[in-house]
Structures are given as C-alpha cells and as structure tokens.
Amino acid sequence: MIGSFRNFAKTKFAGILVFIMIIPFVFWGMGSMFSSGNTNTIAKINEKNISTEEFIDYLNNSGIPQNTIRENLNDNIIEEILSTVVSAKILDLEIEEYDLIISKETLLKMIKKNKNFLDEQGNFQRIKYEKFLLENNQTAPQFELRLKNRELQKNLFSFVGAGTVTPKFLIKKLYEEENRKLEIDYINLNAFYKKKDSFTDNDIKKFLEENKDNLKVEYIDFDYSIINPKNLVGVDEFNQTFFDKIDQIEIDISNELPFETIVTNFNLKSKKIKDFRFTYDKNEIEKKIFEARNNEFDIIEFKDDYILYKIIKSEQRSPNLSDPVLREEILGLIYERNKYEYNKNLIKKIDEKNFNDENFVEMGRNKIENLLLNSVKDNKKFDIKAVELMYSLPVNSFTLINDEMSNIYLAKIKNFQNETMENNDKINEYASKQNSNLKNNMLKSYDLYLNSRYDVTLNQKTIERVKNFFQ
C-alpha cells in the first residue's frame, strides 16, 4: 500500500500524509547511518560542506517516490538529485558574494499580487493563501523562504546579464530570418491513401492475426465513490475537517479496509461499473480511474473532486468484431498503417533523390496548391513545427508536412523573399528579442565561469551508502 501513498503524493491533500506516513517509512533508518566521521559530508564546494543530513532533508521534501529512486539507481538518479542541491548551493554562494537581498516588504507585495491568491476583483484573499499552504503542506515561512530564494536567483541572473546591448546588424539579421516570406507548392496526400471503407474482411482478419497480442482489449470491473466537501463534511469549502477525513480514508486504505467498509463508515454513495473498456466518449471520471488502474485500491484527485475506487477485475480480451465501435477502431488502425507505409516510401524516395519536379507535377496533376507564408511564425495553414522545418530547407527541395488536423501534405520549397526592417516598433521588438538571446549566451558563459570558480568534490562512498539504502 505504500506504493499508493507515493502516487497519492501528487494530490492536493497528500502533503499531510507525506509527513505522517511517507518520511518515517522511507528514511527512518538513515539518521544513524551518517552520524559521524567523513560520512557526514556527501559533497564539498570549495571549503563549504553539504552534509548528508541536508541531502536527506532535500530528498524528504522533494516529493520523489522511493520506488522512482530505487528503479533509477543505475541511471544515476542520486547523482542527478545531488547535482541539483550542489547547483542551488553555488547560486546561494554567488548571491551572498554580490550582497543581493530581498526585503520582507517586497516579499509581502509579491504574495499579495500573486493571482492565485486574488478574488475576482483583484483583491488579496488570505483564505486562498492559507488554503494553498495547507494543500501544499507548507508553512508561511517555508513558502516565503522558497519564494525569496527563487527571486534572489532571478535577480542574480538579471544582474549577470545587465547592460547587454545588441549590435544593430544582429537585430537586422534576426528580423530578416524570422520575417522573410516563403512561397511553397503543396499537395494534400489524403487523396492518395487507400480509403477506410475499401478494406475487406480478409484485410481485417490478416491484420488481427499479425497483431493479435497487441490488439487485445482490457476490460475492468470497479467500484468508485465521488468525494467532495459537500458529501463528506456537509460544507462547500476545503477545510481542515475535510482534509482530516481524507487522511483517515487514506489510512484505512493502507490498513486494507474493504472499499465497502470505508464507503459505509463515511456515509458515501458508490457506483459499480462492469466490463469497462476505454473509449474517448466515456465518462471522464471513469476514464481517469481506468488510467490509474495499476493501483488497484486508491484515492485520486479529479478536478474539484476526489475519487475513491477499487478495481475488482481486469481482463484482456481479443477484439470482438461484432461490436461496431471496435470494428471501426480496427479499420482506423489499418488505415493509419497503410497511410504510414505510403508516407514512409515517399520520404525514402525524397531522401534518396529519386523524386524530382517531374514526379511532383505528375503526382499533383490538378491537385497542386500554392501558398505564401509571411514569416516563420505563420501557422495559418500548417503546424508551426512544419513551418519551421520548411524555412530550414533550401529552395527546390521537398518535404512532408502536417496541419493542425494532422492532415499530411507534400510540399515543395519554391523561393524566399527577404523583408527590410523599417518599422520602429519592430526594431524595438527584435532588439529586445536579440538582447534576450545575447543574455542567454552570457548566462551560458557565466555557467562556465562558475564551473571554473567552484571546485566540487563528491564523497563517492557516502553516495554509494545512500544508494545501498534504496536497494
């Protein structure tokens, strides 16, 4: 049941349980392991130590499930987490070096302007702030400290990149790159794909035989109950009484109390679902339970409700073609496979230089359309990534692109038309953009500087001892 706790940690009310249940189970034995000697230091930045206790505290408060750590030990997850801690410490040292500060008054203003804590009239609501702290298992001082550290880091990066001025030729270059026009010819490939209704029963049987293991459909039986403040504590707001009862439900789950008993004890209504198969037109709550089915008995968050559920049975069945919905899904898969094979072969011809203008004209006949794109951000017809791809290609080249509806097209790059930067508003806009680019490059240089300034030493023996705890 501990596994369900860890997944549960993502819900609104999980924070309380993290402290009550998770931490004692996960790290209860680690304190004595690192109590003396060199093992008390897991890393060193110049002469400043990072204690093992400090690292464990970070793990405790990170929300990372123990299973996730255990499953990724061989992928150096401990080292990656430690790297995050070391980076934060280095930034703290830099902030101290530059005497950067944020006053309590400034922090207070930032909190009172946070849109999450404002009512519809834009006024600060303390109850919203307190609810946020409760849901995230934070005290006000903890939240303010994290906010302060985040803002100090932002100020540090602003300080490092201050005074950046971009040369005009770079501004002009960026403007021309992003605003040159592109003329293309294109062909909608839908007309070249085999139609869905043209596939025969033999085609379906062959497809099913080839993919019988992958096409089995999962059906589940389950019970569930919708929980909200109204039906749990008789009020409309998320108060402490509500969260206390949620905590008790979770404890009951961990103690393996039957679903029916929990529902009865808390006077909840429940619903039984049999032979549920996931389709996109199904009830949203029931689809959510299906997605969470690996945890057979759990409580999850859904919008403004919480869902208590119990998976009764799960069964893999071969597709039943007498079901018209399922038959249509299978036909859709066959159609998509055929479409994929057609596109793959066409791309292969293009890549191998076996497709030219003659082939394009012959293929298009009366189906060739023309379009002028106004910039690399012009997505009025095609997906923005497709537009960016076309702008990266040379004139007279061919490529496959898509629109927002996932229709596929064969496109030919005809020519580019350069634009002259004359509009003052545009000049200012692109100056700011190029300044940001230059600032990012400066920050990369700053990163290299930090790497050379700070000597980081890791205590590999201690790291291995931490890893061993999770094995």
Question: Is there a domain that residue 5 lies in?
Answer: no
Same domain for 185 and 163, yes or no, is no
Place of tokens 């979770």: 250
Of 317, 344, 376, the domain-final residue: 317
Under DSSP, is residue 292 helix (H, G, I), strand (E, B) or coil? coil
* 207 in any annotated domain: no
Q: How far apart are CA 423 and CA 421, in angstroms?
A: 6
Q: Would 308 be classed as within a structural domain?
A: yes
* Most confident option among 57-61, 68-72, 340-344, 453-457: 340-344
Q: Are residues 188 and 114 in the same domain?
A: no
CB atoms within 10 A of CB 286: 18
124 and 72 belong to one structural domain: yes
Question: 148 and 407 in contact (C-beta within 8 Å)?
Answer: no
Do 126 and 149 lie in one domain? The reply is yes
Query: Does 213 score more than 90 pLDDT?
Result: no
Residues 51 and 161 in one domain: yes
Phi, psi of 50 (to 5 degrees): -110, 110
Q: Which of 401, 417, 433 is where one domain is finished?
A: 417
99: CATH: 1.10.4030
Q: Residue 108: which H helix or E strand, with range?
A: helix 104-113
Q: Please state, in angstroms and as integers, the Cα–Cα distance from residue 329 to each residue in 196, 197, 208, 365, following that order.
A: 11, 12, 12, 33
Kindly report the number of other CB atoms within 10 A of residue 229's CB atom: 20
Q: Please count the residues of the chain.
A: 471
Alpha carbon 367 to chain centroid, angstroms: 40
pLDDT the model gives residue 167: 65
- Residue 296 CB neighbours (<10 A): 14
Q: Given a cut of 80, is residue 440 above it in pLDDT?
A: no
In this structure, are residues 228 and 273 in contact, taking their beta carbons and an 8 Å threshold? no
**Pairing mode of beta strands 41-45, 48-51:** antiparallel
Question: Which of 461, 455, 456 lies closest to 37 in space, CA to CA?
Answer: 461
Higher-pLDDT residue of 465, 445: 465
Residues 370 and 256 in one domain: no
- Predicted local distance difference test score (pLDDT) of residue 163: 54
Chain-centre distance of CA 54, in angstroms? 28
Q: Which of these ranges, 2-6, 151-155, 299-303, has the smallest mean pLDDT?
A: 2-6
CA 325/CA 329 separation, integer angstroms:
6
State which residues form the domain around 299. 217-317
- The answer to whether residue 14 is domain-embedded is no
Over residues 236-260, the mean pLDDT reads 94
* Residue 371 parent element (H or E): strand 369-373
Rounded (10°) angle between helices 201-210 and 324-351:
80
Do the Cβ atoms of 199 and 335 come closer than 8 Å? Answer: yes
The answer to whether residue 442 is domain-embedded is yes
Question: Shortest CA distance to 181 belongs to which of 419, 402, 397?
Answer: 419
What's the chain's average pLDDT? Answer: 83
Q: Indicate if 433 and 295 belong to the same structural domain.
A: no
Strand order in the sheet with 369-373: 369-373, 181-188, 408-417, 398-402
307 and 223 inside one domain = yes
For residue 34, pLDDT beyond 70: no
Position with higher pLDDT, 329 vs 189: 189
pLDDT of 50-104, one tens digit each? Answer: 988 888 888 877 778 888 888 888 888 888 888 888 888 888 888 888 788 888 8
Whether 4 is in a domain gets the answer no
Pair (331, 354) in one structural domain: yes
**Number of folded domains that form the chain:** 3
* pLDDT given for residue 31 in this prediction: 38
Kindly report, residue by residue over 392-416, the tens digit of the pLDDT: 999 999 999 999 998 999 999 999 9
Last residue of one domain, picked from the residues 371, 392, 417: 417
Per-residue tokens: 354: 């076996």
Contact 230, 245 (CB under 8 A): no
Q: What is the pLDDT of residue 364?
A: 92
Tokens of 27: 């790290």
Together in a domain, 269 and 186:
no
206 found inside a domain? no
Q: What was the pLDDT predicted at 154? A: 81
Angstrom CA distances, 4 to 8, 72, 109, 297, stand at 6, 19, 39, 8
pTM above 0.75, yes or no: no
237: in domain? yes
In this structure, of 2-11, 53-62, 334-343, the range with the lowest mean pLDDT score is 2-11
Contacts of 28 by beta carbon, 8 Å cutoff, 6+ apart: none
> What's the pLDDT at 4?
37
Q: Strand, helix or coil at 150?
A: helix
Helix axes 424-453, 168-179, angle to 10 degrees: 110
Instruction: Say how far apart CA 439 and CA 436 lie, in whole Å.
Output: 5
Same domain, 230 and 346: no
Percent of the chain predicted with pLDDT > 90: 39
Same structural domain, 57 and 136: yes
